[in-house]
Amino acid sequence: MLKARHFPVNHLFACTLMLGLSLLSRPDAARGQSPEQQVRPVLQGGTVTIGKVAAGDLTFHPLFNSLGVEREIASLIYGEGLLRVDDSGMPADGLAYLPIKLSGGRDWVFRLKQDIEFHDGEPLTAADVIFTYTRYKSSRVYDPVFHRYFQNIERITALDRQTVRIIMKSPIESFPNRLAALPILPGHQMGRGLFADAGAHLETTRPIGLGPYRVESWPVSDTVTLAANESWHRGRANLDRVVYQFYPTSESLQAAFIVREVDLIEVERDGTLKELKRARSDARIQAIVPGSRAFSAVFYNNRHPILSNTAIRRALTYATNRQRILDEVLVRGAGVLAQSPIHPNFEFKGGDMGFDFRPREARELLRLQGWEDSDGDGFLDRQGRSLRFELLFSRGQTSAEKTVRVVKLNLNQIGIQVVPVPVTQKELVQRLGVGSYDAALFVQDFEPTADDLYAVFHSESIGLGNMLGYRNRQVDRNISFLFGLPDRQRAGPVFQQLEMLLIRDQPCMFLYFVDTRYVAYDPTLKNLGRPGEALRSPAVWSRTEYSP
């Protein structure tokens, strides 16, 4: 199922699970390998091929990427920002050293590290940083959360070729990690055209960044080939190449892994895990923490003449067997039902309020709204209009297809016509962004913070992160109130009221959270990260010799 954040950057983190861990926790000897096969020398170089379901036309420019796979590839091309966040969640040196704080937090001075070069050999300078932040600030396609940060920037200047001074309108205690982590763009390449200023971007030239890999194949279609950046400032990556290979369906992707066309894929379902182990006995299966906390949902266009009605949206949730969707789509125990955008383990949960599977309640809500089957065709209508809407979903993804099948079956049973429309992942995100949809199956990155609530549900974010077109004055007031609460405990009741408001309104049909994902990979791949933790970047992967 498609996953994307509010446009287009968000950095969030998640949890774990259990089924399949029996596969993970067994030592290599238990898999029938000899000690000689268990330890093999790391090979320098080599290629790894990562398999993905086709996503449509890809864009790697950080301002315009909107898909998870685009951001994944872009991180390898563009690399880190002025700062990075270390494993403990604290800011650390990136392209620059930790900044000097002046004037009580109104002035911040960043000193760039020496001898950092873009892929084309041009050096990184203060001019590139100024160019980047100016473009980010002026672009209205960018994440609304960052607009809040940018609004506090008064000006950015260069003290010299390697030193950047950022002056704030009002002092801040610490420089925002998310702002400092933005990738730096090559001003010498992008400054010649209309990019962020125009609010539109066509990548007619090969992307150039500061990351561990450069784009080798260009333009790209169903294959993206990245070659190691020999002059990467953190030292050359182990692997010579990282290849992203795209397949039209989940089934064809799994088949490619079985015949060893690809080295690593993500696996969602119980049955697929077992099939892969039977078909390819040497495959490793590993549980991983998702790269970000997210909820799966049926997004409604809240400007739609039918779906703008809160009672109808409630009826749709009552009529849908969301537990069946969870059971059919995910590995058992890998996720939990979502009653709201806030995960059940959040410290300020708003209670047990939610929607069970109650088709009779759904029918009664619709009857009270005047919907009835006046012509006997099995579907509800009112004043000559059918209760009907289109449901967009990502083409080729088994999880999306299964979800849509359950939604359509359940809603048809109470007289609602659902027309499934398969599209590429890219088209789905684009149509959400401009409001050209009735309903869409979507995965939204989300942490219960004031930033994310503002981005996804505040009316000021409509057309940006708020792709629902959702408006609620009380929700807006509560979100704005959160920004003025320095004491987290005082924020608890506000979070609880916000959650109850969102459950009541059902701006989208909340389906489930994914707490654990699984990857299947070739046994020669090493340094992917520990089971139950987030998958590490391909920049640190390596390969070993292996005899099956």
Domain ranges of the chain: 13-54+211-290+516-544, 83-190, 294-514
Helices 310-319, 398-413: crossing angle, 10 deg rounding: 110
Find, among 463, 143, 412, the residue nearest to 303 by Cα.
463
- What pLDDT shows up at residue 392? 98
The dihedral sign for the CA sequence 60, 62, 66, 68: positive
Contact 442, 428 (CB under 8 A): yes
CATH architecture entry for 294-514: Roll (3.10)
Q: What is the DSSP string of 331-382?
A: -TTSEEE-SSSS-TT-TT---S------HHHHHHHHHHTT-B-SSSSSS-EE
CA torsion 306→308→311→316, rounded to 10°? 70
Identify how many contiguous H helices and E strands the chain contains and give both numbers: 17, 25
Name the packing angle between helices 473-482 and 450-457 (round to 10°): 150
Q: What is the pTM of this model?
A: 0.85
Neighbours of 421 (CB within 10 A): 18
Query: What's residue 195's pLDDT?
Result: 46
CB 257 within 8 A of CB 51: yes
**CATH annotation of 13-54+211-290+516-544:** 3.40.190.10
Residue 22, token pair as written in the block = 């029996």
Query: Phi and psi for 518 in degrees, rounded to 5?
Result: -130, 145
Strand partners, 518: 267, 287
- CATH of 83-190, picked from 3.90.76.10, 3.40.50.20, 3.40.50.300, 3.90.550.10, is 3.90.76.10
Alpha-carbon torsion, ordered 298, 15, 71, 145, to 10 deg: 70
Q: What is the DSSP letter of 26?
A: S
CA distance 441 to 479: 25
Residue-level pLDDT, tens digit, the chain, 548 residues: 444 444 333 333 233 322 333 333 333 333 334 333 444 555 568 999 999 999 888 888 887 777 889 999 999 999 999 999 887 778 899 999 999 999 999 999 999 999 999 999 999 999 999 999 988 887 755 566 666 778 889 999 999 999 999 999 999 888 988 889 999 999 988 875 544 444 444 455 789 999 999 999 877 778 999 999 999 999 999 999 999 999 999 999 999 999 999 999 998 876 778 889 899 999 999 999 987 889 999 999 999 999 999 999 999 999 999 999 999 999 888 999 999 999 999 988 766 678 999 999 999 999 999 999 999 999 999 999 999 999 999 999 999 999 999 999 999 999 999 999 999 999 999 999 999 999 999 999 999 989 899 999 999 999 888 999 999 999 999 999 998 787 778 899 999 999 999 999 999 999 999 999 999 999 999 999 999 899 999 999 999 864 44
Cα gap 193→213, rounded to integer Å? 24
For strands 42-43 and 47-53, give the pairing.
unpaired
Amino acid at 198: A
Strand partners, 166: 108, 156
pLDDT value, residue 15: 33
Determine the Cα–Cα distance for residues 459 and 455; give it in Å rounded to an integer: 9
Quick count: other Cβ atoms within 10 Å of Cβ 54? 22
Rounded CA-CA distance 532/524 in Å is 20
Which of 464, 445, 438, 457 minimizes the C-alpha distance to 507? 457
